[in-house]
């Protein structure tokens, strides 16, 4: 009898994840579970691009995941075509050619296979049938708003096994570029493939992994399946590991209430004469600046482009104190403020015991770390570290005034919008010429660089500074080629939320950063300028911008320290 009881207990341990033990919820243990199988899942998540007849990469990128040693890759049907050639890029930089196999548009499921010899990491496939709402999950793919060559991690949970659209719904944020990317359970098994989104951040639609199992044979045949599709018989291993739902997933920040309350003491609201509101971080500059400059003062770091010359800092009691602008770092969008009042505490920027990444070095093991963005008077935002040492190049929309996209059918980079400088807004140009650049024109080159992929234009723009000139070559429908010279100047373009696919909107200044950290915090544009902490207390940096539906940007702590040290104190 005793042996039977021991065996039963061992079986239960294999079914329920460690963080659900002892009848209580351990948020810290959940973080360990998130990181446990990241490396293998990460290594199997690939970035894919179309190849033209000359084997040249063209068009935009999308995502996929390798699921066996034969090189079969699962992806989205709307991203590929049968027998078409593709380039598959692994996170370690290795590149292999692949070809499209079967496509089933009705369920947005598709497959491709690597055609070159080699060995590559792959992830095991899970089972949709063992899932339940509130089971934690992880996205590892390549959002289109980033030019990062390594995938970005996001964390969430299964919200619905079958949404009204017929897809599985998760809260792992996705956007264009993520299409075809994998959704994993905490054991590193693929449980879904990214398909589509709505304007609501909680609506991220996934192709259930059982659909790939059901139509595996059909998907290995390189055709678009439209008629009756024979189904394979599914036989799940009786020992398949189950994961227990975590009801606390919808309010994880409550599991870190103590840390959040402590971090909250370091975040304050800043307002200017135009009633623009942004957050700021209270910083302790002891040891970084002359002692005489500290007496009777407190210092804050915030987002420069949102802080005017007449800024005021809101105190805990609601009173407003006028702030003096000490220094600005336009490259990193930082501003250092000073008020004539001493406030105890603040983030120690002089190598304190809880200051992380001062050296500017990063480790893979930090990916998936739970982070907290504290807010004044309310609960903070919990997120995970998704990527680091990422540069955000200049946007053609905000620096050239030329919005772009690409046509998936022919991989052409086309003009989707033209945006004037703020001083030109509202002026009607009566002298528009037939050869002027226009919407639907095809972009061919910037200076001497051919525009073949969606990475080319922003990468080239980032080589130039504001007020320098670049030349675009573009083609009309007739095929006639023209060129036009543009001066790079910031253009603040109002976002189209239906187009950008999320309600809160992006930050106005959100690009042209040399180095940022990426996390999936669902912050509003007015909630930037404040600090970002790991749950263990390490200071990661200053939240600087909402880049897109999936990504919030943070200026690393190492850059913050250099900014303060560069200030000339008199």
Nearest to 347 by CA among 276, 303, 288, 306: 288
415-436 pLDDT, tens digit per residue, is 998 888 765 555 545 566 888 9
**Domains of the chain, start order:** 39-231 (2.40.10.120), 261-391+514-565 (2.40.10.120), 396-487 (2.30.42.10)
Whole-angstrom Cα distance, residue 557 to residue 198?
Answer: 34
Give the CA radius of gyration of the chain: 25
Encode pLDDT of 302-349 as tens digits: 999 999 999 999 999 999 999 999 999 999 999 999 999 999 999 999
3-state secondary structure string across 203-254: CEEEEEHHHHHHCHHHHCCCCECCCCCCCCCCCCCCCCCCCCCCHHHHHHHH
Give CA–CA dist 113/73, Å, rounded.
6
What pLDDT score was predicted for residue 498?
A: 64
pLDDT at 357: 45
Residue 17: per-residue pLDDT: 37
The closest alpha carbon to 45, from 142, 111, 115, 131, belongs to 142
Q: What is the pLDDT of residues 377-405, one digit of tens each?
A: 999 999 999 999 999 999 999 899 999 98
**Predicted confidence (pLDDT) at residue 23 exceeds the cutoff of 50:** no
- CB crowding 253-275: b at 16 or more within 10 Å, else e: bebbeebbeebbbbbbbbbbeee
State yes or no: pLDDT of 234 exceeds 90. Answer: no
pTM, rounded to two decimals: 0.92
Q: Residue 234 contacts by C-beta under 8 Å, 6 or more apart in sequence?
A: 210, 213, 214
Query: Phi/psi of residue 563, each to 5°?
Result: -60, -45
The 8-class DSSP code of residue 478 comes to T
Token pair listed for 546: 């909402």
pLDDT at residue 433 in the model: 80
Query: Using an 8 Å Cβ cutoff, are 155 and 246 in contact?
Result: no
Which pLDDT score, from 0 to 100, does residue 24 have? 67
Q: How far apart are CA 120 and CA 109, in angstroms?
A: 22
| 346, 283 contact by CB (below 8 A) | yes
Count of alpha carbons within 13 angstroms of residue 371, beta-carbon side = 32
- Residue with structure tokens 């037939």? 434
What's residue 109's pLDDT? 98
SS3 at position 497: helix
Q: Which of 112, 459, 356 is nearest to 451 (CA)?
A: 459
With 50 as the cut, is the pLDDT of residue 4 above it? no
For 317, phi then psi, to 5°, come to: -85, 5
Taking all residues of the chain, what is their mean pLDDT, rounded to a whole number?
89
pLDDT tier for residue 16 given thresholds of 50, 70 and 90: very low
Q: Residue 103 in contact with residue 80, Cβ under 8 Å?
A: yes
Q: Do you know the residue count of the chain?
A: 570
Nearest to 549 by CA among 493, 505, 483: 505
pLDDT of residue 428: 47
pLDDT (tens digit per residue) in 431-468: 668 889 999 999 999 999 999 999 999 999 999 998 99
Ranges of H-type helices in 291-402:
396-400
In whole angstroms, give the CA distance from residue 159 to residue 156.
9
Least confident of 197-206, 356-365, 421-430: 421-430
CB 541 within 8 A of CB 400: no
| In the chain, % of residues over pLDDT 90 | 75
Q: Given this model, what pLDDT does residue 360 score?
A: 58
Pairwise CA distance, residues 149 & 2, whole Å: 54
Question: How is residue 67 annotated by DSSP?
Answer: -
pLDDT of 407 reads 77
Burial class (CB in 10 A: 0-12, 13-18, 19+), 561: buried
CA 396 to CA 441: how far, in whole Å? 15
Tell me, what's the pLDDT at 410?
79
pLDDT of residue 284: 94
Ranges assigned E (strand) in 330-460: 334-339, 347-348, 370-373, 381-392, 402-407, 412-418, 442-446, 449-450
């Amino acid at each position: 009898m005793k042996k039977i009881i021991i065996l039963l207990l061992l079986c239960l341990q294999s079914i329920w994840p460690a963080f659900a033990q002892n009848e209580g919820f351990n948020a810290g243990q959940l973080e360990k579970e998130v990181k446990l199988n990241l490396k293998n899942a990460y290594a199997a998540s690939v970035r894919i691009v179309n190849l033209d007849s000359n084997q040249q990469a063209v068009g935009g990128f999308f995502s996929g995941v390798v699921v066996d040693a034969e090189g079969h890759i699962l992806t989205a049907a709307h991203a590929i075509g049968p027998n078409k050639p593709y380039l598959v890029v692994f996170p370690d930089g290795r590149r292999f050619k692949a070809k499209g196999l079967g496509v089933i548009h009705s369920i947005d499921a598709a497959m491709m296979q690597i055609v070159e010899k080699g060995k590559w990491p792959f992830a095991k496939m899970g089972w949709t049938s063992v899932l339940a709402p509130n089971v934690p999950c992880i996205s590892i793919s390549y959002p289109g708003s980033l030019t990062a060559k390594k995938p970005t991690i996001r964390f969430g949970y299964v919200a619905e096994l079958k949404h009204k659209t017929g897809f599985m719904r998760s809260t792992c944020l996705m956007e264009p570029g993520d299409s075809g990317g994998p959704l994993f359970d905490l054991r590193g098994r693929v449980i879904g493939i990214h398909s589509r989104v709505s304007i609501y951040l909680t609506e991220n639609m996934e192709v259930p992994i059982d659909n790939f199992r059901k139509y595996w044979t059909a998907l290995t045949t390189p055709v678009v399946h439209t008629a009756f599709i024979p189904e394979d018989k599914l036989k799940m291993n009786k020992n398949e590991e189950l994961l227990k739902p975590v009801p606390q997933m919808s309010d994880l920040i409550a599991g870190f209430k103590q840390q959040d309350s402590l971090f909250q003491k370091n975040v304050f609201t800043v307002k200017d004469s135009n009633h623009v509101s942004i957050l700021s971080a209270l910083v302790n500059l002891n040891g970084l600046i002359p002692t005489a400059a500290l007496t009777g003062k407190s210092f804050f770091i915030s987002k420069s482009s949102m802080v005017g010359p007449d800024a005021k800092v809101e105190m805990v009691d609601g009173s407003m104190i006028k702030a003096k602008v000490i220094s600005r770092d336009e490259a990193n969008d930082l501003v250092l403020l000073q008020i004539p009042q001493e406030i105890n505490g603040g983030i120690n920027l002089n190598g304190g015991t809880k200051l992380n990444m001062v050296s500017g070095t990063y480790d893979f093991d930090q990916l998936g770390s739970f982070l907290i963005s504290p807010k004044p008077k309310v609960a903070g935002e919990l997120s995970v570290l998704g990527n680091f040492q990422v540069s955000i190049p200049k946007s053609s929309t905000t620096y050239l005034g030329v919005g772009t996209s690409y046509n998936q059918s022919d991989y052409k980079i086309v003009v989707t919008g033209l945006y004037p400088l703020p001083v030109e807004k509202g002026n009607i140009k009566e002298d528009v010429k037939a050869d002027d650049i226009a919407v639907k024109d095809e972009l061919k080159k910037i200076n001497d660089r051919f525009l073949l992929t969606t990475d080319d234009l922003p990468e080239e723009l980032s080589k130039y500074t504001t007020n320098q000139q670049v030349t675009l070559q573009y083609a009309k429908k007739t095929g006639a080629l023209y060129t036009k010279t543009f001066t790079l100047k910031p253009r603040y373009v109002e976002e189209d939320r239906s187009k950008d696919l999320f309600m809160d909107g992006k930050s106005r200044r959100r690009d042209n950063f040399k180095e940022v950290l990426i996390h999936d915090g669902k912050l509003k544009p007015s909630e930037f300028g404040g600090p970002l902490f790991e749950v263990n207390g390490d200071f990661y940096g200053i939240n600087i911008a909402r880049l897109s539906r999936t990504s919030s940007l943070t200026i690393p702590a190492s850059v913050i320290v250099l900014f303060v040290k560069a200030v000339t104190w008199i």
